[in-house]
C-alpha cells in the first residue's frame, strides 16, 4: 500500500512537469491555488513510505502542509480515513485556518473552553455526520483517564465521565467503519512518560492508529529520554522498555543511598546506536540543507547588561537567603525542591521587574521568609485588540524602570525594524506593557501581545489571529511581546530580531522561539537572536548565566545526536554599558553580516 502511495505521488509529479500548476492540484481534497515546494513534495513521498513516522523538520519548513497533504492522499485512496489532529491548545484555530486554506476537508474543532457535555456533543457530531478532521487541543489529553502500573501499562480507568474517554469509546465504536489518521503536533507534549497526555496518546496510537505521525522540530527538547518517549508514542513497539533504554543509552553513576549504579540522565552515551535505531522512522531536514527558497543568516548574541545598584542589592538578598538557611545546630539546612524553585523564580523576577528598596519585600528576605511576589504589585488595566474587552494585570507599584526594560525601550525608539521580545514570566510582559504605555505606546497601534491569557480566551482565537496579522502586515506595529504561548505554530517572520528578556528553561524551547523569525522565504538577509543576561557591577554572573550554560549544553547534545540549524551559526558575546551602546552594537552586527564581514 505504501508503494502504491509512492507511485501515485510520482504520477502527479509527472503531471506537474507537463502543466504549470501545483503538483498536487489533481487531488480533489486539495485546493489548487497554492504551490507545493520541491522539498515538501519529497517529504510527502518519505511520509508515504512509513506508517508511523516522526516528522522532525526544522521550524518553518512546513510540517503542517506535509501532514495535511499526506492525509489527503491517504483519504483519496481509502475514503474511510478520518483524521484526528492533536495540537497545542493555543493553535486550535490556527490549524482550522490552515486546513480550510489548503484543503476542502470538513473540520470539527474542539475547544478546551465550555462544558464537558458540550464537548461530548461535538465528538458525537463528528462521528455521526460527514466530517473529515477532528482537531483536539493538548489540554484535554492532559486529563487523567487511566490507571497505570510502574511500567506504564494501563490497569484501569479513573473517570468514565470525561469527554476524552467518551471520545475513545466513539473511536472504538466506529473502528470497523473508519480508519484513523492520527497526527500529534508539537509532540514534545508527550516527552514525559509519566504524564497523562503520554498515556492517552500512546493508548490512542496503539489501539486505533492506522497511520500515526508525531511532528516536532525538537525531539530532544531537553534530554535523550524525550526522544525515546516521542518515538514510543508514534510506534509503541519502538524502545518498548524504558528501563532497558536507560541502561543502554545512559552512563551509570554510583548512588550511595541505593548502594548501586543507576543511569545518569545527564550523561547520554551510544548516540550512534540511537541514530541507527531511529533511522527509517525519523524524517528530519535542516533549513540549511534545503536549496529551495531563501534562508536568512542567523546571528546569536548574548548581551551582558550591567544591573543598577538597587537591582544588585535586592538580588544579593535573594542569593544570600539560600546560604543563610541554617538549623538549630548551626548547619545549613537542605533546601526543598519547592524552596529552590521559589528562590530561582524570585531571583529571576528581581532581574526582570524592578524591586524597590525599603519595603516589606526586602525585609522578607532578611527574615528568610518566602512571600508571593503579587503582594508587591498593583493592578494595571489595558484594552485588548477587540473592542469592549479589558485585561487587568499586576505591575510594580513604583515607577522605576529596571535595567532590561531600558534596553527594550531603546530598541523601540532607535531600532528601525520589527522585533520580538520573549519573557517566560507574564510578570515581565505585564511590566513591559506598563512601561510602554507610560511612554505613549499603545497595544494594537505600536505593539501586540501574544500570550495564552490575552489571545486564547476570545471566541475562535480571534485576538491571537488579529495580533499576528497586525504584526505581519501593519508597518506601524513594531514590537511583539510573546510568552511561551508563542513558542510554536507561529509565523512572525516580519521581524528580524528576537530579544530574550529572560531565557526559556530548555534548548528545545529556545530553538522553537528562534524559529519564529528564522524561517524559509524570509525577506531578511539576516536575523538575530539576542539574550539579555544581567551582569552585576562587581563582574559577578547571575542565575541567568547558569540558565544559558544549561541551554548551551543541551544544544550541544542535540547537535551531536541530530544536528540543528541553530548550531550552524556562531555565537558572540558583548558587555554593554548603556542603551546607546546596545542599539549601536545590534545594528553594527546586523549590517556587518549583510555585507559579509562577519
200-245 pLDDT, tens digit per residue, is 999 999 999 999 999 998 888 888 999 999 999 999 888 888 889 9
Spatial CA neighbour of 58 closest among 72, 39, 73: 39
Whether residue 370 is predicted with pLDDT greater than 70 in this model: the reply is no
251, 285, 319 — which closes off a domain?
285
Rounded percentage of the chain residues whose pLDDT exceeds 90 = 27
433-491 pLDDT, tens digit per residue, is 999 999 999 998 999 999 877 654 444 556 788 888 899 998 899 999 999 888 877 88
Residue 333 pLDDT level (bands cut at 50, 70, 90) = low
The CATH number covering residue 415 comes to 3.40.50.300
Whether residue 27 is predicted with pLDDT greater than 50 in this model: the reply is yes
Rounded percentage of the chain residues whose pLDDT exceeds 70 = 81
Record the pTM: 0.84
Q: Looking at the structure, do residues 442 and 367 belong to the same domain, yes or no?
A: yes
Q: Looking at the structure, do residues 370 and 503 belong to the same domain, yes or no?
A: yes
Domain, as residue range, for 308: 297-595
In a domain, 7, yes or no: no
Cell of 534: 544581567
d(CA 443, CA 25): 41
285, 312, 346 — which closes off a domain?
285
Q: How far is CA 519 from CA 36, 408, 490, 524, in A?
A: 16, 24, 11, 10
Q: Looking at the structure, do residues 199 and 344 belong to the same domain, yes or no?
A: no
Q: Looking at the structure, do residues 225 and 325 belong to the same domain, yes or no?
A: no
82-135 pLDDT, tens digit per residue, is 999 999 988 888 899 889 888 889 999 998 878 889 999 999 999 999 899 999
In a domain, 190, yes or no: yes
Q: Looking at the structure, do residues 82 and 170 belong to the same domain, yes or no?
A: yes
With cell 551582558, the residue in question is 304
226, 256, 285 — which closes off a domain?
285
SS3 179: strand
Q: Which residues pair with 154 in a beta bridge?
A: 148
301 contacts 574 by C-beta, under 8 angstroms: yes
Amino acid at each position: 500500500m505504501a508503494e502504491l502511495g509512492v507511485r501515485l505521488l510520482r504520477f502527479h509529479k509527472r503531471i506537474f512537469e507537463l502543466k504549470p500548476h501545483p503538483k498536487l492540484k489533481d487531488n480533489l481534497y486539495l485546493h489548487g491555488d497554492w504551490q507545493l515546494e520541491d522539498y515538501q513534495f519529497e517529504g510527502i513521498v518519505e511520509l508515504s513510505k512509513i506508517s508511523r513516522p516522526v516528522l522532525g523538520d526544522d521550524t518553518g519548513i512546513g510540517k503542517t502542509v506535509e501532514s495535511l497533504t499526506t492525509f489527503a492522499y491517504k483519504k483519496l485512496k481509502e475514503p474511510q480515513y478520518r483524521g484526528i489532529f492533536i495540537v497545542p491548545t493555543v493553535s486550535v484555530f490556527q490549524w482550522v485556518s490552515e486546513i480550510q486554506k489548503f484543503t476542502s476537508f470538513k473540520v470539527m474543532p474542539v475547544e478546551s473552553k465550555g462544558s464537558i457535555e458540550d464537548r461530548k456533543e461535538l465528538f458525537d457530531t463528528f462521528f455521526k455526520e460527514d466530517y473529515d478532521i477532528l482537531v483536539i487541543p493538548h489540554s484535554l489529553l492532559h486529563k487523567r483517564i487511566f490507571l497505570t502500573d510502574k511500567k506504564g501499562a494501563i490497569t484501569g480507568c479513573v473517570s468514565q465521565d470525561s469527554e476524552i474517554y467518551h471520545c475513545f469509546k466513539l473511536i472504538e465504536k466506529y473502528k470497523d467503519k473508519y480508519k484513523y489518521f492520527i497526527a500529534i503536533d508539537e509532540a514534545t507534549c508527550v516527552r514525559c512518560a509519566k504524564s497523562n497526555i503520554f498515556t492517552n496518546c500512546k493508548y490512542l496510537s496503539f489501539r486505533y492508529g492506522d497511520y500515526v505521525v508525531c511532528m516536532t522540530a525538537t525531539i530532544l527538547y531537553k534530554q535523550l529520554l524525550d526522544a525515546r518517549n516521542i518515538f514510543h508514542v508514534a510506534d509503541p513497539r519502538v524502545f518498548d522498555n524504558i528501563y532497558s533504554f536507560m541502561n543502554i543509552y545512559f552512563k551509570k553513576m554510583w548512588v550511595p543511598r541505593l548502594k548501586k549504579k543507576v543511569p545518569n540522565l545527564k550523561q547520554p552515551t551510544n548516540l550512534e546506536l540511537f541514530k541507527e535505531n531511529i533511522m527509517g522512522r525519523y524524517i528530519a531536514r535542516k533549513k540549511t540543507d534545503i536549496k529551495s527558497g531563501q534562508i536568512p543568516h542567523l546571528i546569536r548574541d548574548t548581551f551582558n547588561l550591567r544591573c543598577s545598584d538597587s537591582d544588585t542589592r535586592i538580588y544579593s538578598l535573594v542569593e544570600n537567603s539560600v546560604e543563610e538557611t541554617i538549623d538549630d545546630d548551626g548547619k545549613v539546612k537542605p533546601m526543598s525542591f519547592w524552596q529552590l524553585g521559589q528562590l530561582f523564580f524570585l531571583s529571576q523576577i528581581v532581574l526582570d521587574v524592578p524591586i524597590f528598596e525599603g519595603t516589606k519585600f526586602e525585609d522578607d528576605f532578611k527574615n528568610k521568609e518566602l512571600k508571593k511576589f503579587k503582594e508587591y504589585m498593583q493592578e494595571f488595566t489595558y484594552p485588548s485588540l477587540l473592542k469592549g474587552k479589558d485585561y487587568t494585570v499586576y505591575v510594580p507599584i513604583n515607577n522605576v524602570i529596571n535595567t532590561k526594560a531600558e534596553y527594550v525601550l531603546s530598541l523601540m525608539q532607535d531600532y528601525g525594524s520589527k522585533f520580538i521580545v520573549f519573557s517566560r514570566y507574564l510578570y515581565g510582559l505585564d511590566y513591559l506593557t506598563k512601561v510602554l504605555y507610560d511612554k505613549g505606546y499603545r497595544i494594537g497601534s505600536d505593539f501586540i501581545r501574544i500570550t495564552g491569557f490575552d489571545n486564547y480566551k476570545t471566541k475562535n482565537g480571534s485576538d491571537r489571529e488579529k495580533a499576528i496579522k497586525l504584526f505581519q502586515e501593519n508597518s506601524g506595529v513594531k514590537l511583539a511581546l510573546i510568552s511561551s504561548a508563542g513558542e510554536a505554530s507561529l509565523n512572525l517572520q516580519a521581524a528580524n530580531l528576537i530579544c530574550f528578556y529572560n531565557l526559556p528553561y530548555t534548548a528545545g524551547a529556545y530553538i522553537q522561539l528562534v524559529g519564529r523569525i528564522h524561517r524559509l522565504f524570509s525577506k531578511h538577509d539576516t536575523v538575530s537572536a539576542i539574550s539579555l543576561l544581567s551582569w552585576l557591577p562587581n563582574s559577578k554572573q547571575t542565575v541567568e548565566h547558569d540558565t544559558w550554560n544549561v541551554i548551551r549544553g543541551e544544544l550541544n547534545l542535540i547537535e551531536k545526536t541530530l544536528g540543528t540549524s541553530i548550531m550552524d551559526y556562531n555565537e558572540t558575546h558583548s558587555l554593554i554599558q548603556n542603551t546607546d551602546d546596545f542599539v549601536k552594537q545590534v545594528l553594527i552586527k546586523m549590517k556587518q553580516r549583510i555585507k559579509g564581514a562577519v
